[in-house]
Structure 1
Amino acid sequence: MSTQTELLTAPKWRATRRPARDRKRWTPGEIVVMVVLAALVIIVASPVVYALLNSFRSYAEITVDPMGLPTQFTLDNYIQLFQQTDYGEALVNTLIITVVTVVLLVAIVPMAAYGIERVGGRTSRLVYILFIAGLMIPFQVRMIPLVKGFDDVGLYSTLTSVILVHLGGAASFGILLYCSFIKGIPIEVEEAASIDGAGRLRTFWSIVFPMLLPVTSAFVIIQALGLWNDFFIPLVFLDSSSAGTINVAINRMVGLLTSQWQLIYTGAILAIIPSVAIFAAFQRYFIKGMSIGAVKG
C-alpha cells in the first residue's frame, strides 16, 4: 500500500519541481539587448533627472557647483517662475494652440481623406499627390512667404498664424495616414447606410468615423506632443511683443551675459510633465492605432 502511495505521489512531486528546474535562462543575445537598453535609458533620463534636481536649487548653488545636489528641497523656483516671467501666459498660449489645432485637424483631415478615397477620379488623385508633395517641401522654404503673407493681412504675431501654419503642416501627414486606413474599410457598409437614406456627411460621422478611432487616437497623440513641444514655428511667427509658447519663454530666459538657470530648469520640467502624462495615459491606444494603420496600409 505504501509503495502504491509513493508511485502516485512521485509524478506530482516531479510536476511541481519541473517549472523551477526548467526555468528559462537569458541567452547572451538577450543580455546584450538588456544592457544596451539600460544604457539608452540612462542616457535619455540623465538630462531630465539633472534638470529636476536643479529646479530645486538656487542660482548661486547652480553657478558654484553645477553638478551638485540640492541642499534643501523648496518650491521657490516654481513660484518665481510664474511671478517674475511670462511663463504663465506662455503656458496658456501653448494650451490654446495645441487644443485648437488638434480639434480642427480631427474635424477636417478625416473628412478630406474620406472624400479623396471615396470620390475617386483624376481630381482626387491630383489632390492626394499635392498633399503628399507637401511632406517633401521643407518648412524653411515656405517660412519667409508665410511670414510676409500673414504680415500683409494683419495676422503676424498672433496665435491664429501659428495655428494655421500647424494645420497646413500636419494636414499632409494626416491625409497619408487616414487614406491608407480608409482603403481597408468595406464600402458595403456605406452602401447599406445610403440605402437607409443617410447622406454622405451622416454616413461619414455615424458609420465611417467610429471605425477610424484607432488611427485617430494615434494621430491625435502624435500631433499633440509635436504641438506642445514645438519651438521653431512659434519663435518665427510670434515676435517679442507676445509671451510666445513655453519653449519660447524658456529660450528668452537665456541671456547674452547671464541666464536664469534655476528658472530655465524649472520651466523645462513643467513643460515635460504634460507630454509624459499624455503619452503614458494613451500609450496603448497609440501603439494599437499605429499597428492597425500599418496593417491597413
Structure 2
Amino acid sequence: MASSGGSDLFRAWLEAQGAQNGAVTTLTADSVMATLESDLEATWEKLKSWLSHGGSHEIGRLCKDVATNVQGGGGTTGQREAYLKNVCKGIAEIKYFMSGVETRKEGKTTEDVSPTYEKVEGPEAYKRCIVGTVAMSTIYGDHCTLDEIIGDIENGVEQELRGTHQSGGAKLDACGGITKTDVAVGRSVLQGKIENWSKGERSVGSKDDGFARVGYVWSQWKNVCPRGRAEDEAKKEEKEKNKGTIGNFLKVGSDTHRDQLMNELMNDKVPLTVENLKTALQKSLGNGGSGAIGTIEVDNVMKNLEGSIQKNE
C-alpha cells in the first residue's frame, strides 16, 4: 500500500499489517496491538542477546584506543579504561544492530565468525530503529563522556559499515524516516521493559558482576562520572547533554527534526501511553475497534496518535 501522509516507519509497519491480512480481512485493535508488542519485544530480545555476549574482535578494535583518545572521566587508570571501552563497545553494537550487521568472536580465537546480515527496510526498519534508539537512550543516555567516545569511533564505525559491510546488506540510513510519533509509539511499548532490564543489570553490576557492556560498566560509572556531583544530578546532566549526541550517531529522523525527536524520547514526561495507543487504534478501525486497515485507516491512526501526543505534552 502506498503511504499517503509521509514516510514514517510506524506507518509502514501499520500498512504491512493490512497487506499481510488482505483488504477484506477484519483486524481488531487488540490484535494489531498484540502484534506490535510481539514484534518489538522479539526485536528487543534479539538486541539484548547481542549486548549480553562478549562482542566481536571487530568492535573491540574500533574501541581499542578510546581510553587514550578520550580525555574526560575520573577514577583510576584501570577504572577509566574499563568504563570507556565497555561503553564504547555497547554503543557500537547498537549501531551495528540498527544497520542489520551482526559480528561475533569465534570461540577463544582471535578471529570473528563470518558476519550475518538482515535487511533493515519496511517493517523491519521500524522494529530495529525503534528498539535500538530506545535501548541506546535508556541504557547509555545517562553515561558520561558519550560525546567524546562517539567522536573517537564514529568515523571508524562508518567506514566498517559502509566499506566492509554495505555489500553484504548493511543499511546506514535506515532510520532517517523515524518521526516523533514513531518514537512515542515505540517508547510506550518498550521503555518500561528495557528500563527494568537495565536497572536489574545495574544492580548486579554494582557487585562487579553482570554483562560487561551493561551491568559491569555501571559499577565503574560511580568512579568515572560524578566528578563531585551527586549521582542523580550527574545522571540528569549527562542525559540532557547526550540527546543530540545519540541522535546524530544513530542518524535517527531527519536533520531538521532530530532535536525534537530526541527531546521527545529522552524527556521524563511520557507523551503516549499504551492505553492512548489502543484508543487510537479502536477509533481508527471503527466498528468497536474492528475492521480492515487501508490507507484511510492508517491516516486516521496517525492523526489520533498525534492528537494524543499533543494533548499529553
TM-score by length of 2: 0.30
Instruction: Find the structure with the greater CA-based Rg.
Output: 1
Relative to its length, the structure with more helix (as a share) is 1
TM-score by length of 1: 0.31
